[in-house]
Amino acid sequence: MVKYVYAFEEGKAGMKQLLGGKGANLAEMTNMGIPVPPGFTITTEVCDLYNKSKGNYPEEVDRQVDEQLKKLEKKMNARFGDAENPLLVSVRSGAAVSMPGMMDTVLNLGLNDKSVEGFIKKTGNPRFVYDAYRRLINMFGDVVMGVDHHHFESILTQLKEEKGVEFDVNLEAEDWKKAVEEYKKVVKKVAGKEFPQEPKIQLKMAIDAVFSSWGSKRAIAYRQIHDIRGLLGTAVNVQTMVFGNMGTNSGTGVAFTRNPSTGDNHFYGEYLINAQGEDVVAGIRTPEPIDHLKKKFPKIYAELEGIYKKLEQHYKEMEDIEFTFQEGKLYMLQTRTGKRTAMAALKIAVDMVKEGLIDKKTAILRVQPKQLEQLMHKQLDPKAKEKANVIGKGLPASPGAAVGKAAFTADDAVKMKEAGEKVILVRTETSPEDIQGMNSAEGILTARGGMTSHAAVVARGMGKCCVAGCGDITVDESKRQFKAKDIVIKEGEWITLDGTEGKVFQGKIDTMDPQLSGDFGTFIGWADAYRRLGVKTNADTPKDCQKARGFGAKGVGLCRTEHMFFEGNRIKAVREMILAETEEERKKAINKLLPYQKEDFVGIFEAMSGLPVTIRLLDPPLHEFLPKEEKDIKEIAKEMKVSPEHLKGVIDSLHEFNPMLGFRGSRLGIIYPEIYEMQARAIIEAAIEVNKKGKEAIPQIMIPLIGVVNEAKDLHARIKRVADDVIKTSNARLKYKIGTMIELPRACIVADQLAKELEFFSFGTNDLTQTTYGLSRDDAGKFIPKYIELGIFEKDPFQVLDAEGVGGLMKICIEKARKANPKIELGICGEHGGDPESVETSHKLGLDYVSCSPFRVPIARLAAAHAVLKEEAAKK
C-alpha cells in the first residue's frame, strides 16, 4: 500500500521532494518537540497523479486523508463540523522549492452553519467566529469555486456604507453574520452552486484546488522564469487552525534568526497583536519590531528565543520563521532557509564557522559567487531609490550606481570632468574613440548594444557602472539631448544609473559606499584553499592591475594593447601608420609608438611584479582608428596633412561589411609585421628595464585570432627573433612565452598543430561564441531576449558560456592541444571568466585558469571553489 498521507510526526526535513518544503519542515519541527499545530501532509506524488489523470487520483488517498483526519480529531479532542467543539483546519500548498504566492491557501476550513454555533460556544466570541466564517467563504469561493474576490469586497463595502462606518473594525457580530449570508448568496449566484456545508467536501475540494493550482498559467510561468524543473508537483498541508486574531493576548509574526541585511547575529523580525498572518503581509497596520515582544510578552519571547536558537542549531542555517500565539500560547507555522544580502551571507557564513556550527566547505557553498558583485560597487540608497523617477530600463551591463550630469560626446565628458563636474556619458553606442570620455565619466548609458557591447565590456573592465541597450531612450548627439518618452534630458542635467538593475533615473539619487568587511578576506581565503583553477585578471592599466591584485588576481590573463593606441599623441602615429604608402613610412610611424608602449608595459609589469602578464598584440581592424564623421575627417585630414578626399579614400578602402570577420588580429600581424615587431620589442625592453630595478617581469606575448598553423609559425618566428635580439643586445636574461587566443572554431580543430608551435592558449570565449554560433554580440541583442522568452536559448550564450556547443569545441581543442604538447598552459580570458556558471564549465573542461575583469576576480575565486566542492558532492 502506497503511503499518500503523512502525519507531521511521520515526516522529516529530508523528505522535501515528497512532502514539499513547508510540510517537511513542519514535520521536522514537530519531531523536534517544537509546538506546531498538528496536521498532516498529502504528498507531491498525489499532485502528480492528479495532474496526469486530470483530477482522478486513487480512492486510497481519500481513505488515508480520512484516517489522518480522525487521528487529528482525536488528538485535538474536537470534531470536524461539530456543533459543540468543531475542528478547524487550514489547507496550504508547499512544493519542494519555494514558490511564494504562486499557489493557493484556504483558512478556517470546517466552519459551516452548524459548527459556527459550536465555535461560538467554544470561543464565546461571535464577532470573531462570524468574521472567520465569512473569511472562509471568501477564500473558498475565490480559490476553490472561481468566484472572484471583488464580489465579496463589494458586499463588504455596501455593508459599511449602510452602517455608515469606514473600517472593518467598526463592524459587529451581527454585521459579519449578515455578511456570511450575503457571501453565500453571491457564491451561489456566480458559481451556480451552494457553498458546501459538509466539511469533508470542503476539504476534498480545497485539496483538489491546491493540486490544480500547480498547473495554472501563473505557476507554470513562475517555474519557467525561475528555472524550476524536475518537481512532481506540490504537496498539500492540512493543519489545525490557530488564531492570532483572537484578542489582545493573541498575535502573529515573521522573523529571521539573524539580520538578513547585515548578517548580525541578532534576532530580527516583526509582529502584530490580534492579527492573522495575512494582515502582516497586507500592510494595513504597521507591525512592531520583534524586540517589543520581549517587553510586552516576555514569556512568549523567551519561548520563541529558545525555539529560534534550537532551529538554527538544528538546521545550521539562518532561518526565516513564522509564528502565531493564540491567547498566550505560541505556535510555529513555518521555518525555512532565510534569504539574505551578500554582506549578510558572508558574515553569517564566517560567523557560523567560528561558532562551530558549520565547516568551511559548507560556509563556502552558502555564499553565491554572483552575490559578491553586490559588495564591489557603489549602490543607490534603497530608500531614495523608491521615491525616484525611473525614465528607462536597459541591460544591467556593469553593476553599481552612478550619479552625474549628462554628456553626449566623449570630448564633452572630458571637458566637464576637467571643470570638476560629475558626468554620465550618454551615447547611442560607444566606440574605442570614446575611451577617454568613458574614463572621465561616473557611468555610461547607451541606447544600443548588449551585455558584451563595447560600452559594457569597457565599463566592466573599468569597474564603472553601465546601463547598455536602453531601448527606452533616443539619443540625439547633435542636439546634445536624449528623450525618454515625453521627458527630454539635456546636456548638464542630472541623471542617475543603477547598473545592477539596469535602471535610469531622472535627477540625483543618494548613493552608499560599498563595504568589504574583514569577513571577506577570511571567507575568500577559505575558498582559495579548495579551488584548482587559477584566477587572473583582464587589465589594461597599472591602476587596474593593482586593483585586481588587491582582489587576489594571480597575474594578468589579458592586457589589451589597442586602448593604449588611442591616448594622447599616439593616435596620430597610429593614423600615420595607416596612411603610410611605403613600408619605410609605416615603420617610421609605428616606431614612434615604441617609447609609449614600453612605458605602458613598464607600469603594468611593475604593478604585477612576480606574476605573469599576458599581453595581447594589436587586435581590432585598422578602421577603428580612423574617424567616421565628415567633420572629424576634415579635422584629422588637416592634422595629418593630407586631403580630406585622400583620407576618405583610405577609410573607404578599409571599410568592412563584417568587421568581426575582417582584417584584424593575427592577420594584421602577417600583413604589417612591423606592428607586432614593435610591440614585441616594447614588451621585452620594458620587462628588462623592470627587472633591472629589482622587480620581476614575466611577459607572455599573446597573438590574437589565429586560425591556421602558418600564422602561428610565421608570427612566432618573428616575435622570437625580435625578443631574442633585444635580450642579447641588452645582455639580459629573461624568460618569456608566446601563445595565442583561441577565438575561431578552426583553431580548435587544428589545435594539435598550433600547440606544437606555441606555449599557451587562452580561449577568447566572446569571439569563439560569436563564430561558433554565427552570432554577432553587437547585433544579437535584438533577438536574444525573445529567444530566451521562447525557450530557444536557455541562457544568453554571451553571459553564460555554452557548455554544449562552444564548450564542445573547447573540449576538442583541449584534448588535441594537451596530446600534442602536454606542457601547454590553457586558460580563458573572455567575459565569461567572471561568470560563476562559466567558471564551473572551465573547471570541468580542465583549464588551468580563468581571467576576468578586476571586480569579478573574487567572484571567479569563489566560483572556482564552488566548482570543486560541487564536483566532490556529485561524486559522493
- Contact residues for a copy of itself (CB under 8 A)? 656-663, 667, 670-671, 705, 707-708, 710-711, 714, 743-746, 749-750, 767, 770-776, 778-780, 782-783, 786-787, 790-793, 802, 804-806, 808-809, 812
Min separation Cβ 814 and a copy of itself, Å: 14
Greatest Cα pair distance in the chain: 107
DSSP-assigned letter for residue 758: -
Task: Please choose, from the candidates 403, 424, 401, 399, the residue with its C-alpha nearest in 3D space to the C-alpha of residue 500.
Answer: 399
Residue among 572 and 746 whose Cβ is closer to a copy of itself: 746
Residue among 198 and 645 whose Cβ is closer to a copy of itself: 645
Q: Which of 454, 832, 843, 866 is catalytic?
A: 454
Task: Please choose, from the candidates 475, 247, 514, 250, the residue with its C-alpha nearest in 3D space to the C-alpha of residue 372.
Answer: 514
Report the alpha-carbon distance of residue 204 to residue 27 in Å, rounded: 22
SS3 409: coil
Overall size of the chain counted in residues: 876
Min separation Cβ 793 and a copy of itself, Å: 7
Residue among 315 and 663 whose Cβ is closer to a copy of itself: 663
> Which grid cell is 816?
588535441
Min separation Cβ 670 and a copy of itself, Å: 6
Min separation Cβ 794 and a copy of itself, Å: 8
Min separation Cβ 744 and a copy of itself, Å: 4
Residue among 708 and 869 whose Cβ is closer to a copy of itself: 708
Report the alpha-carbon distance of residue 30 to residue 50 in Å, rounded: 28
- Helix 126-143, helix 115-123: angle, nearest 10: 140
Helix, strand, coil percentages (3-state) for the chain, rounded to 5, are: 50, 15, 30
Residue among 715 and 847 whose Cβ is closer to a copy of itself: 715
Report the alpha-carbon distance of residue 630 to residue 418 in Å, rounded: 27
CA dist 295 to 1, 259, 273, 405, Å? 52, 20, 13, 50
Residue among 381 and 804 whose Cβ is closer to a copy of itself: 804
Residue among 213 and 666 whose Cβ is closer to a copy of itself: 666
Helix (H) or strand (E) holding 90: strand 89-94
Q: Which of 47, 466, 470, 829 is catalytic?
A: 829
Residue among 514 and 785 whose Cβ is closer to a copy of itself: 785
Report the alpha-carbon distance of residue 408 to residue 487 in Å, rounded: 16
Min separation Cβ 178 and a copy of itself, Å: 50
**Helix boundaries (H) for 665-749:** 666-671, 673-692, 709-729, 745-749
Report the alpha-carbon distance of residue 184 to residue 777 in Å, rounded: 59
Report the alpha-carbon distance of residue 651 to residue 642 in Å, rounded: 13
CA dist 474 to 111, 451, 489, 593, 765, Å? 60, 19, 10, 38, 31
Active site residue 454: yes
Min separation Cβ 657 and a copy of itself, Å: 4
Q: Please check whether residue 81 is in contact with residue 113, taking contact to mean a CB–CB distance below 8 angstroms.
A: no
- Intra-chain end-to-end CA distance of the chain, in Å: 32
Residue among 594 and 670 whose Cβ is closer to a copy of itself: 670
Residue among 508 and 746 whose Cβ is closer to a copy of itself: 746
Concatenating the DSSP letter of every residue in 460-524 gives: HHHT-EEEE--TTEEEETTTTEEEETTEEEETT-EEEEETTTTEEEES---EE-----HHHHHHH
> Which grid cell is 463?
569597474
Report the alpha-carbon distance of residue 276 to residue 272 in Å, rounded: 8
Cα Rg, the chain, nearest whole Å: 33
> Which grid cell is 24?
517537511
Min separation Cβ 817 and a copy of itself, Å: 14
Min separation Cβ 625 and a copy of itself, Å: 16
Residue among 377 and 623 whose Cβ is closer to a copy of itself: 623
Min separation Cβ 480 and a copy of itself, Å: 19
Helix (H) or strand (E) holding 738: strand 737-742
Active site residue 829: yes
CA dist 135 to 90, 109, 138, 140, 418, Å? 12, 10, 5, 8, 65
Report the alpha-carbon distance of residue 554 to residue 548 in Å, rounded: 9
Residue among 3 and 782 whose Cβ is closer to a copy of itself: 782
Q: Please check whether residue 499 is in contact with residue 399, taking contact to mean a CB–CB distance below 8 angstroms.
A: yes
Catalytic residue positions?
A: 454, 829
